[in-house]
Structure 1
Amino acid sequence: MSKKPIIVFEGIEGSGKSHHINKVSKYLDKKKINYIKIREPGGSLNSEKIRRLILNKKSNFNIYTDLLLYLAARSENINLIKKTYKKKIILIDRFTDSTIAYQHYGMGVDLNIINIINRFLLKNIKVNFTFLNIVNKKNLFQRLKNRKSLNRYDQFDMNFYNKVQKGFLKLAKSNKKTYKIIDSNLDIKTNEDLIINQIKKLIK
């Protein structure tokens, strides 16, 4: 594995992925290790513009428009990733597996369409490791309730989130060597330590 890996944090809403990627960022800052951190949708200036459009509560796109907007946001990030690929550690808050989990398993878009466009966009870029954060219904809705504001993707029903999380777990099962499941229903400090220890192995 590259010592400057791409490390992705995946999971449904309220699963703690953004918290953990921020903890890893602070650890790398403390160790003075070079990295970049991006989110999807978002990251580059144009991708952030697309993010605002996708997540706006007033937006009401069909499932294919939703998919293409997410992929457009990814397209805007690819040059940013290419510039630093294997030169710096790349931390990504959601990436290609989110598209599969949400748009295919959650919304029913044909998986072949997603895979074809992802392959076209990524070319030889490969994710080295993924942390999948899972959450139960009680904690999911409690955490969403505590948020100051909710976006469009924070307001789906539990049936949708269940389909998406099961999709993520299928992806994890087929990529056991490069996936680590983090049960965010457990003690947060325990999970922080578990993730940092895994990060140390990935970059040593």
Structure 2
Amino acid sequence: MSKKPIIVFEGIEGSGKSHHISIVSKYLDKKKINYIKIREPGGNPNSEKIRKLILNNKSDFNKNTDLLLYLAARSENIKTIKKYYKKKIILIDRFTDSTIAYQHYGMGIDIKIINLIHKFLLDNISVSFTFLNLVNKKNLYLRLKKRKKLNRYDKFNMNFYNKVQNGFLKLANLKKNSYHLVNSNLDIKLNEKLILKKIDKLIF
């Protein structure tokens, strides 16, 4: 594995992925290690415009439009990723597996379409390692309740989130060597230590 890996944080809403990517960012800052951090959807000015459209509570896109908007936002990030690929550590809050988990397993879109567009967009770029954050129903709802503002994807029913999380687990099962499961129902400080220990192994 490259010592300048692409490390992705995946998981459904309320799973803690954004918290943990923030902890890793602070850790790398402290170590004075160069990296870039991207969130999806979003990550650059054009992608952030698309993010606002996707997550706006007034938006009512059909599932195919949602897919294409997510992929359009990703397309805007690819230039940045290619620029730093294997030159800097790249941290990504959601990436290709999120699209498969949400749009294929959650919404039922043909995976062949998703894979075809990913192949076109990514070229030879590949993810080095993924942290999959898992959360139970109780904690998911408790954490969403604490949010000051809920976006469109925070308001799906539990059946949808179950399908998406199970989709992530299927992907993890296919990529066992490059996936680490994080039980976010456990103590958050314990998970932070476990993740940073793994980060050390990935980059040093």
| TM-score normalised by structure 2 residue count | 1.00
Match of 2:139 in 1: 139
SS of equivalent residue, structure 1 residue 181 = strand
String of CA shifts for 1:98-139, please: whole Å, max 9, x gaps. Answer: 000000000000000000000100000000000000000000
* CA drift at 1:188: 0.5
Match of 1:3 in 2: 3
SS of equivalent residue, structure 1 residue 141 = helix
* CA drift at 1:186: 0.4
- Unaligned 5+ segments in structure 1 are none
Q: Does 1:37 align with 2:37?
A: yes
**What is the one-letter code of the residue matched to 1:181?**
L
String of CA shifts for 1:43-94, please: whole Å, max 9, x gaps. Answer: 0110000000000000000000000000000000000101111110000000
Match of 2:126 in 1: 126
Match of 2:174 in 1: 174
Match of 2:196 in 1: 196
Match of 1:183 in 2: 183
**What is the one-letter code of the residue matched to 1:93?**
D
Name the CA distance, whole Å, in 2 between partners of 1:119 and 1:91: 20
Name the CA distance, whole Å, in 2 between partners of 1:61 and 1:52: 13
Query: What percentage of residue pairs aligned between the two structures are identical?
Result: 78
Name the CA distance, whole Å, in 2 between partners of 1:178 and 1:44: 27
SS of equivalent residue, structure 1 residue 91 = strand
Name the CA distance, whole Å, in 1 between partners of 2:24 and 2:2: 18
Match of 1:26 in 2: 26
Match of 1:69 in 2: 69
| TM-score normalised by structure 1 residue count | 1.00
Match of 1:165 in 2: 165
Name the CA distance, whole Å, in 1 between partners of 2:23 and 2:51: 23
Name the CA distance, whole Å, in 2 between partners of 1:191 and 1:176: 19
Name the CA distance, whole Å, in 2 between partners of 1:119 and 1:20: 28
RMSD, matched Cα: 0.3
